[in-house]
Each structure stands twice: as structure tokens, then as C-alpha cells.
Amino acid sequence: MARALGLNEDLTEALCLAHDIGHPPFGHAGEDALRAAMALAGGFDHNAHTIRLLTRLESPYPRFDGLNLSWETLEGLAKHNGPVTSPSWALAEADAEFPLELGSWPSLEAQIAAIADDIAYDNHDIDDGLRAGLLTLEELLDVPLVARAWAGARARYPEVAAQRLVPELIRDLIGVMVDDVLTETRRRTAGMASAEEVRAAGCPLSGFSTAMAGEEKALKAFLHARMYEAPAVKGVRAEAQTILAALFEAYRGDPGLLPEEWRPASADPIIVTRRIGDFIAGMTDRYAVRRYEELIGPTRLHEGV
């Protein structure tokens, strides 16, 4: 999309690759657990933690903290979902050191990264849901957007088995959504000539058309009901939150359990809480399960999950 719109492809790619690295283990379920555990120290937000990682925690250079990223990269990561009017403590800290104009809209590259994220997870969740048996193709075809794409794929390949056509369905859905975003973005940005105009527009300039936005919302509602709220998924989410909450309490009770390089330098409760949060947020799912089993006991989420 960035290439088609004549935008900075390197910046767009950097934003797409980095925008979710602040997620803790177990994704949004883990984020909810960390937010609750860190409530007295300002809570946890994965978007703000991305900025914290890139400006403070990951420090491979001897003369400064962070990865020395451009202003445009950090700005796009901080507010790719739009202006931030009430930044969390982590984002406020970073903004105080390196002002990111949090109240304005971000670049078109950041807006493209945000809508690409929606397109990606909508379509990959369809694929994952079918593979996991959480939904069937017949149920999915009740969603009008999907039904139209399926009819097109079936018309092109009438002799191909339904299961073999699922990847074609996903490709068509991605294509339809991308084309819609490109057309709508060109319409909204007609006559604009600078990044400053984009930031001063006061509204998003890249996104779905009104019609596609409604259809995508219906798809999201279907996926929410059939996948994210599926009993099996909710059970895993609850167990994941139990793991992170218990790990947090174990480390808070004895910070000496942390690896030496992660132990807080102060006994201040806020500093200790945030240091534990930084450490847990950097875990993979499997590492979190392993540490839980080492420190606390067995869990239904074994390492292979």
C-alpha cells in the first residue's frame, strides 16, 4: 500500500514490524494481567511499552539509550492508532525526553501500518479459526463480505475442492480490502502535498470507505463471537492471566528471583513494580510457562501450546 501511494516504504515497514513488540506474553490477555498487577505504578499498555523498549530498555549502543530511531519512526509507533490525549506513564516519560507531538495525527505511513494490521489479523484469524475448528466455512459464509469473495473464487475455480479454495478466499479478501483502502486514501488526501498537512488534518486520512468499514465491522463481530469468545479460547486466556499474575506476585514478593541484570536498583515500590513489568513483558509465552512451572507449579498450558 505504501508503494502504491508513493509513501516511504522503509518507514512503513519499520512501523509494521515494530508496532506490536511491546506485547507481553499471551498478547492482549497478558496485557490485561499486567495492567492489573501494575495498577499502583501506572498500569501497563503495550503500545507505550513498545516506545519504552525502543528508547530505553534495548540499548546496544555505548553512548545513548535505545535504538536511536528516527523521530518519524517513534512518532508513528506512539500514535499509529491516532492522537494520544492521555498518555500512560511510559509514553509520557518518552515524550518528555523526545517530544512526539502526541496530540496530532501521525504520518500516512503510520496510518497505513494501522489499517494493514486490521486487514492482516482479520484474514489470518479467518484462516486460524478454520484450521482450529473454531468455525466452519458454512458459518463464515453468513458474513456478506466473505460470501462475495467466496462466490468470486468459486466462479473462477468451480472444479476445485472447497478446502483447497480457502487460501484463494483469503487472498481475495485481502485484495478487496487493500484496494478499498487505496481508493479511499487517495480520495481523502487529494490536493495534499506535505506530511504537515496530514498531521494537521484533524482526522484519519487512510482507512476503509464507509461501506467497507461497515462490512469489516460485521466480520469482526463474527470473529469476536465465534473465536475470541469461544469457550476453549477463553479457558486458555484465563489460564494465561493466572500464570502472569502469579509470576508477578512471586517476583514482587522476592525480587531476588529475577535474573541479576533485571533486579531493581531501588526498593521504591513503583520502581520495583515497573522493573518486574519490564521483565515479564519481554517473556515469550513458552518462557513464561517455564518460569511459572519452576517457581510455582504445573499449569495446563504446557510449553508445547
Name the residue ranges covered by the structural domains of the chain.
2-97, 120-229, 232-295
**What is the mean predicted confidence (pLDDT) over 139-154?**
96
* Residue 153 and residue 172 in contact, taking contact as beta carbons nearer than 8 Å: yes
CA distance 152 to 136: 19
pTM: 0.92
Q: How confident is the model at residue 302 (pLDDT cuts 50, 70, 90)?
A: low
Of 222, 231, 111, 226, nearest to 173 (Cα)? 222
Residue 54 Cα distances to 42, 64, 78, 98, 238, angstroms: 19, 12, 11, 12, 30
Tell me whether residue 110 is exposed, middle or buried, using C-beta atoms within 10 angstroms of its C-beta: 0 to 12, 13 to 18, 19 or more. Answer: buried
The reported pLDDT for the residue numbered 300 is 83
Residue 127, C-alpha cell as written in the block:
484462516
- Is the pLDDT at 135 greater than 70, yes or no? yes
The reported pLDDT for the residue numbered 7 is 97
